[in-house]
Amino acid sequence: MKLRIATRTSDLALWQARYVQQQLLLQDPNLTVELVPLKTQGDKILAVSLAKIGGKGLFIKELENALLAQQADLAVHSLKDMPVKLAAEFELMSIGPREDPRDCLISYSHKTLAQLAPGAIIGTSSLRRQLQVQRLRPDCKIDFLRGNVLTRLKKLQAGQYDAIILATAGVKRLALEAHISEYLAVDTFVPAVGQGTLAVQWLTQRQDLSALLAPLVQYKTEICQQAERAMNLALGGSCQVPVAGYAKLSQGQLTLVGRVGDPKTGLLLEAILSAPAAQARELGQAVAKQLIAQGAQSILAQYQDA
């Protein structure tokens, strides 16, 4: 059987696609698995914040088109880049163990966020990260930063920023963790929904792929993602709005923290609930309900309409 995997062309995206390729071959050495690298609009348009040009869906459209045109059988994504609402033509599944979900600070002049000098310039284009930095270091300046991991590191090395904030998972997957100055704890700096998790997408009609991919799913990862994405779906979250969510499974009990905030005002809403793992989706919906009761909808509507 021959499988073609659609992937973005960045070093990190290719690493992720090759990881899935290797896992499939370990499961069945008789498979032939090829990569189909594609350039997406999200990769081409780098001078503007994703929140202003359509969100992270710009990273997946070309890959989805390749599936629809039968130019590829699978597409590999970072789950945090996936919209919470999928078109009916597609299936989505988390793959393998979750990598470190934390954000990290990288600075060549200071070791921690707390040690940055007043007025320090921190690079990020994420509204979620911007909000949480403002809560911890309101005296620092947030400056726009996009591009792949290596591009962002080069901009930091060139002195355009005093520090940048990245997803730890991507830094580790590219074996660049020596650059990390500080790991930002999930209880104070809540990650993006799905951060650190890989996802595979395919056409719903390809039920043969559902059976083939099922052994690659890790229960713990999948349960946590069900809770996080259910919360995000109930909130209508996307790249355009500052939503954070992180679920942790321990001894059959799932705990989910959700945050919604407004970088313009500094307002931060938070809800934390626990439930049995079997109620993952219900837990996500309950956390979203609490956030909405605190006034999340007015914040979300403001950014969704921006």
How does DSSP assign 54-88, residue by residue? TGGGGGTHHHHHHHHTTS-SEEEEEGGGS-SS--T
**Per-residue pLDDT tens over the stretch 206-226:** 999 999 999 999 999 999 999
Token duo for residue 12: 């990190």
Decide: helix, strand or coil at residue 91.
strand
> Where, residue-wise, is CATH 3.40.190.10 in the chain?
1-96+197-217, 103-184
* pTM greater than 0.85: yes
Task: Report the chain's mean pLDDT, rounded to a whole number.
Answer: 91
Given the residues 11, 28, 43, 81, select the one marked as catalytic.
81
Q: How far apart are CA 225 and CA 277, in angstroms?
A: 11
Q: How far apart are CA 91 and CA 81, in angstroms?
A: 15
Say whether domain 103-184 belongs to CATH 3.40.190.10. yes
Q: How far apart are CA 97 and CA 217, in angstroms?
A: 8
Give the helix ranges, DSSP H, for the chain.
11-27, 41-44, 50-53, 61-68, 127-136, 149-157, 168-173, 207-213, 219-235, 280-293, 296-304
- The share of the chain scoring above pLDDT 90, in percent, equals 79
Q: How far apart are CA 212 and CA 285, in angstroms?
A: 30
- Residue 58, pLDDT score: 66
> Where, residue-wise, is CATH 3.30.160.40 in the chain?
218-306
Select the more confidently predicted residue: 249 or 298: 249
- CATH number belonging to domain 218-306: 3.30.160.40
**Per-residue pLDDT tens over the stretch 44-58:** 544 444 444 444 556
Would you say residue 296 has pLDDT above 80?
yes
- Residue 306, pLDDT score: 47
Check if 43 is active-site: no
Would you say residue 150 has pLDDT above 90?
yes
- Residue 46, pLDDT score: 47
Lowest mean pLDDT among 31-45, 132-146, 184-198, 271-285: 31-45
Domain 1-96+197-217 class in CATH: alpha beta
- Residue 241, pLDDT score: 73
